[in-house]
A = this chain, B = another copy of it.
Amino acid sequence: MKKFINDVSKVEEQMVLGMVKAYPNYLKKLDCGNVVVRSNKKEGKVALISGGGSGHEPAHGGFVGEGMLDAAVAGAVFTSPTPDQILEGIRAIATDAGVLMVVKNYTGDVMNFEMAADMAELEGIPVKHVVTNDDVAVKDSLYTIGRRGVAGTVFVHKIAGAKAEQGASLDEVQAVAQKVIDNVRTMGAAITPCTVPAAGKPGFELGEDEMEVGIGIHGEPGTHREKVRPADEVTGHLLDQILGDIDYVGHEVAVMVNGSGATPLMELFIINNHVADVLAEKGVKVYKTFVGEYMTSIEMQGFSISLLRLDDEMKQLLDAPANTPAWKEV
């Protein structure tokens, strides 16, 4: 294993410290584990918290700031944070307006976030949650029952975060978060695995000419393995699965071409070139496109495509100001 790290047992902590030291105007770290919150708490609004295992940077700490999240809780790499850590995050950000948890659909995450919510409610903090499950690749997987929550989650952070910033109630913020979930679909592929530092070796093996199609953000198996094909063919296949899941034709969409950590922007733009062409041909209008690293898998060479079907409310909230380390909307 070749990585720019120190002690494997300190990867998560040193990463979070390095993030907070980079962005002290945005973030501060709580004393109880790897929980980051906005450096200036904003009262009177619904507070948003998300998180999960580490290894998906910039998710989720990079999205803490004005117009998006109020707290991000980072577990060990690819491991859910504990209920105690999540509870500390909730306590730190709670306002009278309540707290919304944005949870990706993995059994451990859902269980631990729900336990934290129960504990918070005993303390009188109103907590609601949504569960993202945008991955169309597989139903039931290594870490979860049902579809997995992947890069589409970041659209939930952006849109629900904007709604909260505008002063909406907890029910309203939850409703728009659920609307994003109902309208976003994602699928990915990878040509190399990733290595959890504490494991010291890749989570799976791929042949010299192989790719995994429909891969999850922890390197979980997808729909199948096959020989690497030209980018346009891979892109076309993923789009077919996404476009076949809900009806996008005639609608406006937000597109996210998300890198898995080690895929150069060069390749993500080549992929987007074909995404744009296919959508134009099929009568799906692109409202806004995001190309870059939003929800990664350490140093996996892979990507995912997310399509969010928009209405006027979601368009307005997607365009609303945001100022976080990893997402700025001017």
Give the interface of A toward B (CB within 8 A): 2-7, 11, 14-19, 21-23, 54-55, 57-58, 62, 191-192, 208-209, 211, 228, 230-232, 234, 255, 257, 261-274, 276, 289-291, 293, 296, 298-299, 301, 303, 321, 323, 328, 330
Q: Do the beta carbons of B57 and A273 come within 8 Å of each other?
A: no
Q: Do the beta carbons of A18 and B264 come within 8 Å of each other?
A: no
Q: What's the Cα separation between A220 and B267 when bound, in Å?
A: 22
Q: Which 8 A-B pairs have the closest CB atoms?
A: A18-B273, A18-B269, A262-B262, A57-B265, A21-B276, A328-B328, A18-B272, A4-B267
Nearest B-chain residue to A54, judged by Cβ: B266
> What chain B residues lie within 8 Å of A303 (beta carbons)?
4
Q: Do the beta carbons of B296 and A265 come within 8 Å of each other?
A: yes
Contact of A23 among B11, B22, B289, B328 (CB under 8 A): B289
Contact of A232 among B6, B17, B55, B263 (CB under 8 A): B6
> What chain B residues lie within 8 Å of A273 (beta carbons)?
14-15, 17-18, 21
Q: Do the beta carbons of A289 and B21 come within 8 Å of each other?
A: yes
Whether A22 contacts B291 in the complex (CB less than 8 A), given A270-B15, A328-B328, comes out as yes
Q: Do the beta carbons of A4 and B293 come within 8 Å of each other?
A: no
> What chain B residues lie within 8 Å of A18 (beta carbons)?
268-274, 276, 291
> What chain B residues lie within 8 Å of A264 (beta carbons)?
55, 57, 261-262, 296, 298-299
> What chain B residues lie within 8 Å of A296 (beta carbons)?
264-265
Q: Do the beta carbons of A289 and B2 come within 8 Å of each other?
A: no
Q: What's the Cα separation between A265 and B260 when bound, in Å?
A: 11
> What chain B residues lie within 8 Å of A54 (beta carbons)?
266
Give the shortest distance, in Å, between A225 (CB) and chain B (any CB). 13
Q: What's the Cα separation between A119 and B16 when bound, in Å?
A: 51
Give the shortest distance, in Å, between A65 (CB) and chain B (any CB). 10
Q: What's the Cα separation between A276 and B301 when bound, in Å?
A: 29
> What chain B residues lie within 8 Å of A323 (beta carbons)?
330
> What chain B residues lie within 8 Å of A321 (beta carbons)?
330
Contact of A269 among B57, B231, B268 (CB under 8 A): B57
Q: Do the beta carbons of A301 and B230 come within 8 Å of each other?
A: no
Q: What's the Cα separation between A57 and B264 when bound, in Å?
A: 8
> What chain B residues lie within 8 Å of A291 (beta carbons)?
18-19, 22
Give the shortest distance, in Å, between A134 (CB) and chain B (any CB). 20
Nearest B-chain residue to A16, judged by Cβ: B269
Q: What's the Cα separation between A321 and B323 when bound, in Å?
A: 13
Q: What's the Cα separation between A276 and B17 when bound, in Å?
A: 10
Give the shortest distance, in Å, between A224 (CB) and chain B (any CB). 17
14 additional contacts (CB under 8 A) given A18-B273, A21-B276: A2-B211, A5-B231, A6-B230, A6-B232, A7-B230, A11-B266, A11-B270, A15-B266, A18-B276, A22-B276, A23-B289, A57-B265, A261-B262, A328-B330
